[in-house]
Chains A and B, each alone.
Chain A
Amino acid sequence: AQSVTQPDIHITVSEGASLELRCNYSYGATPYLFWYVQSPGQGLQLLLKYFSGDTLVQGIKGFEAEFKRSQSSFNLRKPSVHWSDAAEYFCAVGLNTGFQKLVFGTGTRLLVSP
Protein backbone atom coordinates (compact mmCIF):
# COMPACT_ATOMS: atom_id res chain seq x y z
CA ALA A 1 0.00 0.00 0.00
CA GLN A 2 1.07 3.53 -0.62
CA SER A 3 2.44 5.42 2.34
CA VAL A 4 4.27 8.58 3.24
CA THR A 5 6.56 8.91 6.23
CA GLN A 6 7.55 12.15 7.87
CA PRO A 7 9.86 11.02 10.65
CA ASP A 8 10.00 14.32 12.51
CA ILE A 9 6.87 15.26 14.45
CA HIS A 10 8.30 18.56 15.66
CA ILE A 11 11.28 20.61 14.53
CA THR A 12 12.53 23.83 16.10
CA VAL A 13 14.69 26.12 14.02
CA SER A 14 16.14 29.52 14.85
CA GLU A 15 14.99 32.38 12.69
CA GLY A 16 17.44 32.84 9.84
CA ALA A 17 18.73 29.27 10.03
CA SER A 18 18.28 26.73 7.28
CA LEU A 19 15.53 24.14 7.30
CA GLU A 20 15.16 20.62 5.98
CA LEU A 21 11.99 18.58 6.49
CA ARG A 22 12.20 14.92 5.62
CA CYS A 23 9.72 12.89 3.61
CA ASN A 24 9.93 9.29 2.43
CA TYR A 25 7.31 7.56 0.36
CA SER A 26 6.39 4.06 -0.60
CA TYR A 27 4.73 3.69 -3.98
CA GLY A 28 5.26 1.19 -6.75
CA ALA A 29 5.05 3.55 -9.70
CA THR A 30 6.45 6.98 -10.43
CA PRO A 31 4.90 9.20 -7.80
CA TYR A 32 3.47 12.64 -7.99
CA LEU A 33 4.78 14.42 -4.90
CA PHE A 34 3.57 17.47 -3.06
CA TRP A 35 4.35 19.60 -0.06
CA TYR A 36 1.55 21.48 1.66
CA VAL A 37 1.61 23.91 4.58
CA GLN A 38 -1.17 24.41 7.11
CA SER A 39 -1.49 27.26 9.58
CA PRO A 40 -3.63 26.63 12.69
CA GLY A 41 -7.31 26.30 11.88
CA GLN A 42 -6.71 26.78 8.18
CA GLY A 43 -6.77 24.69 5.06
CA LEU A 44 -3.76 23.40 3.16
CA GLN A 45 -1.69 25.60 0.88
CA LEU A 46 0.37 24.00 -1.86
CA LEU A 47 4.07 24.88 -1.58
CA LEU A 48 5.41 22.87 -4.50
CA LYS A 49 4.95 19.76 -6.56
CA TYR A 50 6.99 17.22 -8.49
CA PHE A 51 5.52 15.42 -11.45
CA SER A 52 8.54 14.70 -13.66
CA GLY A 53 11.66 16.28 -15.07
CA ASP A 54 14.12 18.27 -12.99
CA THR A 55 14.40 16.63 -9.60
CA LEU A 56 14.97 19.94 -7.82
CA VAL A 57 11.73 21.89 -7.74
CA GLN A 58 11.14 25.42 -6.61
CA GLY A 59 8.04 26.50 -4.78
CA ILE A 60 6.48 29.51 -3.18
CA LYS A 61 7.81 31.38 -0.16
CA GLY A 62 11.42 30.44 -0.96
CA PHE A 63 10.95 26.68 -0.48
CA GLU A 64 12.49 23.99 -2.64
CA ALA A 65 12.43 20.21 -2.62
CA GLU A 66 14.56 17.51 -4.15
CA PHE A 67 13.22 14.22 -5.46
CA LYS A 68 15.61 11.31 -4.97
CA ARG A 69 14.24 8.16 -6.51
CA SER A 70 17.03 5.94 -5.11
CA GLN A 71 16.14 7.01 -1.57
CA SER A 72 12.37 7.34 -2.12
CA SER A 73 12.63 10.78 -0.62
CA PHE A 74 11.28 14.24 -1.30
CA ASN A 75 12.81 16.52 1.32
CA LEU A 76 11.72 20.13 1.69
CA ARG A 77 14.33 22.83 2.23
CA LYS A 78 14.56 26.53 2.86
CA PRO A 79 17.87 28.39 3.22
CA SER A 80 16.67 30.95 5.77
CA VAL A 81 13.59 30.49 7.91
CA HIS A 82 11.31 33.39 8.85
CA TRP A 83 9.08 33.49 11.92
CA SER A 84 6.04 33.39 9.62
CA ASP A 85 7.09 29.92 8.42
CA ALA A 86 5.95 28.41 11.72
CA ALA A 87 3.19 26.00 10.71
CA GLU A 88 2.57 22.33 10.02
CA TYR A 89 3.99 20.85 6.86
CA PHE A 90 2.57 17.85 5.05
CA CYS A 91 4.18 15.73 2.39
CA ALA A 92 1.80 13.89 0.08
CA VAL A 93 1.93 11.43 -2.78
CA GLY A 94 -0.61 11.53 -5.57
CA LEU A 95 -1.61 8.16 -6.89
CA ASN A 96 -1.35 7.77 -10.66
CA THR A 97 -4.58 5.88 -10.95
CA GLY A 98 -6.64 8.16 -13.15
CA PHE A 99 -8.41 9.93 -10.34
CA GLN A 100 -7.54 12.48 -7.75
CA LYS A 101 -6.36 11.05 -4.43
CA LEU A 102 -3.60 12.18 -2.12
CA VAL A 103 -1.97 10.09 0.60
CA PHE A 104 -0.53 12.33 3.29
CA GLY A 105 2.22 11.94 5.81
CA THR A 106 1.53 12.66 9.45
CA GLY A 107 2.99 16.13 9.23
CA THR A 108 5.89 18.00 10.80
CA ARG A 109 5.21 20.95 13.05
CA LEU A 110 7.79 23.67 12.59
CA LEU A 111 8.54 26.01 15.47
CA VAL A 112 10.71 29.06 14.83
CA SER A 113 12.65 30.50 17.73
CA PRO A 114 13.81 34.13 17.84
Chain B
Amino acid sequence: KAGVTQTPRYLIKTRGQQVTLSCSPISGHRSVSWYQQTPGQGLQFLFEYFSETQRNKGNFPGRFSGRQFSNSRSEMNVSTLELGDSALYLCASSLAGSITEAFFGQGTRLTVV
Protein backbone atom coordinates (compact mmCIF):
# COMPACT_ATOMS: atom_id res chain seq x y z
CA LYS B 1 0.00 0.00 0.00
CA ALA B 2 1.53 3.28 -1.09
CA GLY B 3 2.07 5.93 1.53
CA VAL B 4 1.42 9.65 1.38
CA THR B 5 3.15 11.23 -1.58
CA GLN B 6 4.13 14.86 -1.63
CA THR B 7 5.53 16.61 -4.67
CA PRO B 8 7.86 18.22 -5.25
CA ARG B 9 10.30 17.33 -2.49
CA TYR B 10 12.27 20.55 -2.82
CA LEU B 11 11.44 23.98 -4.17
CA ILE B 12 13.31 27.26 -4.40
CA LYS B 13 11.23 30.32 -5.09
CA THR B 14 11.77 34.06 -5.12
CA ARG B 15 9.98 36.52 -2.87
CA GLY B 16 6.70 37.63 -4.39
CA GLN B 17 6.18 34.48 -6.41
CA GLN B 18 3.49 31.92 -5.74
CA VAL B 19 3.86 28.18 -5.25
CA THR B 20 1.64 25.11 -5.37
CA LEU B 21 2.38 21.96 -3.42
CA SER B 22 0.69 18.64 -4.00
CA CYS B 23 -0.30 15.78 -1.72
CA SER B 24 -1.66 12.39 -2.69
CA PRO B 25 -3.11 10.60 0.36
CA ILE B 26 -3.18 6.91 1.06
CA SER B 27 -5.76 5.15 -1.06
CA GLY B 28 -9.13 5.27 0.66
CA HIS B 29 -8.23 8.14 2.97
CA ARG B 30 -10.53 11.12 2.65
CA SER B 31 -9.01 13.55 5.13
CA VAL B 32 -5.93 15.56 4.25
CA SER B 33 -4.28 18.00 6.64
CA TRP B 34 -1.39 20.36 6.04
CA TYR B 35 1.25 21.49 8.53
CA GLN B 36 4.11 23.96 8.37
CA GLN B 37 7.31 23.11 10.20
CA THR B 38 9.93 25.76 10.97
CA PRO B 39 12.76 25.84 13.50
CA GLY B 40 11.22 28.84 15.24
CA GLN B 41 7.53 27.94 15.32
CA GLY B 42 7.66 24.16 15.21
CA LEU B 43 4.80 22.23 13.67
CA GLN B 44 1.73 24.34 13.02
CA PHE B 45 -1.61 23.31 11.58
CA LEU B 46 -2.51 25.00 8.33
CA PHE B 47 -5.84 23.45 7.29
CA GLU B 48 -7.76 20.22 6.88
CA TYR B 49 -9.88 18.98 4.02
CA PHE B 50 -12.43 16.21 4.07
CA SER B 51 -14.50 15.23 1.06
CA GLU B 52 -13.41 18.33 -0.84
CA THR B 53 -14.46 20.68 1.97
CA GLN B 54 -12.16 22.74 4.14
CA ARG B 55 -13.31 22.01 7.67
CA ASN B 56 -10.78 23.93 9.66
CA LYS B 57 -8.03 26.45 9.12
CA GLY B 58 -5.14 27.44 11.31
CA ASN B 59 -3.93 30.90 12.12
CA PHE B 60 -2.24 31.72 8.84
CA PRO B 61 -2.78 34.68 6.49
CA GLY B 62 -5.04 34.42 3.49
CA ARG B 63 -2.00 33.97 1.26
CA PHE B 64 -2.15 30.32 2.30
CA SER B 65 -4.94 28.41 0.63
CA GLY B 66 -5.74 24.91 -0.39
CA ARG B 67 -8.18 22.63 -2.07
CA GLN B 68 -9.06 18.98 -2.33
CA PHE B 69 -10.16 17.12 -5.39
CA SER B 70 -12.74 14.37 -5.76
CA ASN B 71 -9.99 11.72 -5.66
CA SER B 72 -8.89 13.17 -2.27
CA ARG B 73 -5.65 14.58 -3.65
CA SER B 74 -4.94 17.98 -2.19
CA GLU B 75 -2.98 21.03 -3.15
CA MET B 76 -1.90 23.99 -1.12
CA ASN B 77 -0.99 27.32 -2.58
CA VAL B 78 1.02 30.16 -1.14
CA SER B 79 0.84 33.47 -2.96
CA THR B 80 3.15 36.46 -2.67
CA LEU B 81 5.87 34.45 -1.01
CA GLU B 82 7.82 35.94 1.88
CA LEU B 83 11.17 34.86 3.28
CA GLY B 84 9.39 33.63 6.39
CA ASP B 85 7.44 31.12 4.35
CA SER B 86 10.59 29.01 4.04
CA ALA B 87 9.68 25.78 5.79
CA LEU B 88 9.02 22.08 5.52
CA TYR B 89 5.38 21.61 4.51
CA LEU B 90 3.93 18.32 5.64
CA CYS B 91 0.77 16.67 4.48
CA ALA B 92 -1.08 14.12 6.60
CA SER B 93 -3.63 11.60 5.42
CA SER B 94 -6.35 10.08 7.59
CA LEU B 95 -9.00 7.48 6.96
CA ALA B 96 -12.07 8.97 8.60
CA GLY B 97 -13.51 12.35 9.30
CA SER B 98 -12.75 12.71 12.99
CA ILE B 99 -9.52 12.22 14.84
CA THR B 100 -7.75 9.04 13.87
CA GLU B 101 -4.21 8.09 13.04
CA ALA B 102 -2.58 10.57 10.71
CA PHE B 103 0.05 9.34 8.28
CA PHE B 104 2.53 11.90 7.08
CA GLY B 105 4.32 12.34 3.80
CA GLN B 106 8.02 13.15 3.45
CA GLY B 107 7.25 16.82 3.09
CA THR B 108 8.11 19.56 0.63
CA ARG B 109 11.06 21.73 1.57
CA LEU B 110 10.31 25.27 0.36
CA THR B 111 13.07 27.83 0.33
CA VAL B 112 12.21 31.44 -0.45
CA VAL B 113 15.11 33.64 -1.54
Contact = CB atoms under 8 A, between A and B. Distances in A.
B63 interface: no
A36 B105 CA distance: 13
Given A94-B99, A107-B42, A100 B104 contact: no
A96 B35 CA distance: 18
Contacts of B31: 99-100
Interface string A92-114: 10111111111111110000000
A97 B56 CA distance: 10
Contact of A96 (B90, B94, B98, B103): B98
Chain B interface size band reads 20 to 34
Contact of B55 (A43, A96, A99, A106): A99
Interface string A69-107: 000000000000000000000101011111111111111
Question: Interface size for chain A: under 10, 10 to 19, 20 to 34, or 35 or more residues?
Answer: 20 to 34
B97 A102 contact: no
Interface of A: 32, 34, 36, 41-46, 49, 90, 92, 94-107
26 contacts: A34-B101, A36-B104, A41-B109, A42-B107, A43-B4, A43-B104, A44-B90, A46-B101, A46-B103, A49-B101, A92-B43, A94-B99, A97-B99, A98-B55, A98-B98, A99-B31, A99-B56, A99-B99, A100-B50, A100-B94, A100-B102, A101-B99, A102-B35, A102-B43, A102-B45, A104-B43
Q: Top 3 closest A-B pairs, CB basis?
A: A94-B99, A104-B43, A43-B104
